[in-house]
């Protein structure tokens, strides 16, 4: 039976997010949501469990309020949930986050880990490959579907083509799309079942990492400056196309300006 980990993330509502002077996102008091790519990873893991069997554990790292996204994962069908919460995790960049997640994956004994290919608040796409490197697992990126046909096969989507790849476990799977037919909302029965499942809490000491490996101390990157990009506005020009030749000349004139 497979031990399946799904790493998800609680992200702030993009319309209300702000950035502190140190360059970190201000999350306190900001409405949050399950990151869309994490949701895709969860749906892919649940579909894999349906085909291959196993137990799906949803994991996130964050403050107490991050329990909300784990409740959502349980409602959609995850069997278990782990909240990694400790003040010493605060300010972790991608490598510090990956160290903590990898330590948790080893502790839980996951033989396959699902992640969204990126997160909407950072957009770096660095955590899945860092996890694979730290764990020594194979990495399968741009995955849109996974199935067990006597062997585990992942469909990987690239810009101009798709390919099916026979996977070897243990593995980290970076998901770019949810499986077709994924539920948009959990059922009432699923909500009732999820309400009875406790969310396990894990602190830094529980995963055996020293302080210097996580948080601001363990981060290899620093945000030096954050600048808001001003919106751009372009006037709309309407060209009379009743005369094709005249219309084409007018368009070329506008393009040449």
- 21 contacts: CB under 8 Å, gap ≥ 6: none
Residue 51: per-residue pLDDT: 87
The two three-digit tokens of residue 146, written as one number = 């996974």
Long-range own/partner contacts, residues 67-71 (CB < 8 A, 24 or more apart):
67/199, 68/10, 68/32, 69/8, 69/9, 69/10, 69/32, 69/33, 69/34, 69/35, 69/38, 70/8, 70/199, 71/194, 71/199
Confidence grade of residue 20 (pLDDT, cut at 50, 70, 90): low
DSSP state of 172: E
Strands 55-61 and 80-84: parallel
Residue 36: how many other CB atoms lie within 10 Å: 14
Q: Indicate if the pLDDT at residue 167 is higher than 90.
A: yes
Residue for token pair 């085909």: 51
Q: How far is CA 52 from CA 1, 66, 147, in A?
A: 8, 29, 8
Query: Tokens in use for 206?
Result: 């529980």
Instruction: Report the C-alpha gap between 197 and 126 in whole angstroms.
Output: 31
What is the value of pTM for the model shown? Answer: 0.79
- CB environment 63-84: b (16+ within 10 A), e (fewer): bebbbbbbbbbbbbbbebbbbb
For the ranges 66-80, 178-192, 213-227, the one whose mean pLDDT is highest: 66-80
List of domains in the chain: 3-255 (3.40.50.620)
Half-sphere exposure of 187 (CA within 13 A, CB side): 5
User: What mean pLDDT is predicted for residues 170-191?
Assistant: 86
| Length of the chain, in residues | 257
Nearest in space to 7 (alpha carbons), one of 138, 142, 103, 144? 103
Which of 26-30, 34-38, 102-106, 223-227 bottoms out in mean pLDDT, i.e. has the lowest?
26-30
Phi and psi of 44, rounded to 5°? -70, -40
The encoded tokens of residue 110 equal 């996951």
- Is the pLDDT at 165 greater than 90? The verdict is yes
Q: d(Cα 124, Cα 120) in Å, to the nearest integer?
A: 9
The pLDDT of residue 1: 83
Q: What is the DSSP track for 20-74?
A: -TTS-EE-TTS-EEE-HHHHHHHHHHHHHHHHH--EEEEEEESSGGGHHHHHHHH
- Average pLDDT across the chain, whole number: 87
* Average pLDDT of span 170-182: 89
Q: Of 20, 43, 15, which Cα lies nearest the Cα of 30?
A: 15
């Amino acid at each position: 039976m497979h031990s399946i980990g799904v790493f998800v993330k609680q992200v702030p509502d993009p319309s209300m997010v702000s950035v502190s002077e140190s360059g970190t996102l201000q999350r306190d008091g900001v409405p949050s949501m399950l990151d869309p790519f994490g949701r895709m990873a969860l749906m892919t893991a649940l579909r894999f469990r349906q085909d291959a069997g196993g137990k799906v554990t949803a994991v996130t790292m964050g403050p107490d309020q991050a329990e909300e996204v784990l409740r959502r994962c349980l409602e959609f069908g995850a069997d278990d949930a782990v909240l990694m919460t400790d003040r010493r995790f605060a300010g972790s960049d991608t490598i510090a986050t990956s160290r903590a997640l990898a330590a948790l994956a080893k502790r839980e004994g996951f033989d396959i880990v699902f992640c969204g290919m990126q997160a909407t608040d950072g957009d770096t796409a660095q955590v899945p490959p860092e996890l694979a490197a730290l764990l020594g697992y194979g990495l399968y990126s741009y995955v849109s579907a996974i199935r067990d046909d006597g062997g585990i096969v992942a469909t990987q989507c690239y810009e101009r083509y798709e390919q099916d790849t026979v996977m070897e476990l243990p593995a980290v799977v970076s998901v770019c799309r949810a499986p077709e037919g994924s539920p948009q909302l959990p059922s009432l029965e699923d909500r009732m079942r999820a309400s009875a499942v406790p969310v396990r809490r894990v602190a830094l000491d529980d995963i055996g990492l020293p302080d210097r490996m996580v948080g601001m101390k363990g981060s290899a990157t620093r945000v030096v400056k954050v600048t808001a990009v001003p919106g751009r506005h372009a006037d709309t020009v309407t060209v009379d196309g009743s005369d094709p030749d005249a219309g084409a000349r007018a368009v070329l004139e506008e393009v040449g300006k």
